[in-house]
Amino acid sequence: MSSLTIHIPADFWKIIESHKEIDWREIAQQSVMEYAKKVALADRLTRQSTLTDEDETEIDVRIKSGLAQKYV
């Protein structure tokens, strides 16, 4: 298995240090693996896409505009 080093801000490190009963390494490992699965799924879904960056931007703007009109 590979390893990954992360930097934790001091205020969070205090919380981690005060809860030694929690397996923080397992939590971090599971979180990274779940996120990697989501990225892999996105890669599979977009692998054969013919959309350009401009197309994606246009869709993004339309969706956000519609949401803004509905909720603002």
Contact 29, 4 (CB under 8 A): no
56 or 14, which is more confident? 14
Q: Give kind and range of the element (H or E) at residue 44.
A: helix 24-46
Q: Which two tokens stand for residue 3?
A: 């390893």
Residue 4 lies in a domain: no
Whether this model's pTM surpasses 0.85:
no
pLDDT score, position 58: 96
Per-residue pLDDT reduced to its tens digit, 16-60: 999 999 999 999 999 999 999 999 999 998 888 898 999 999 999
Using left for φ > 0, alpha for ψ between -120 and 50, and beta otherwise, residue 4 falls in: beta
pLDDT category of residue 70 using cuts at 50, 70 and 90 = confident
Q: What's residue 49's pLDDT?
A: 87
Number of domains within the chain: 1
Domain that holds residue 41: 10-71
For residue 5, tell me if it sits in a domain. no
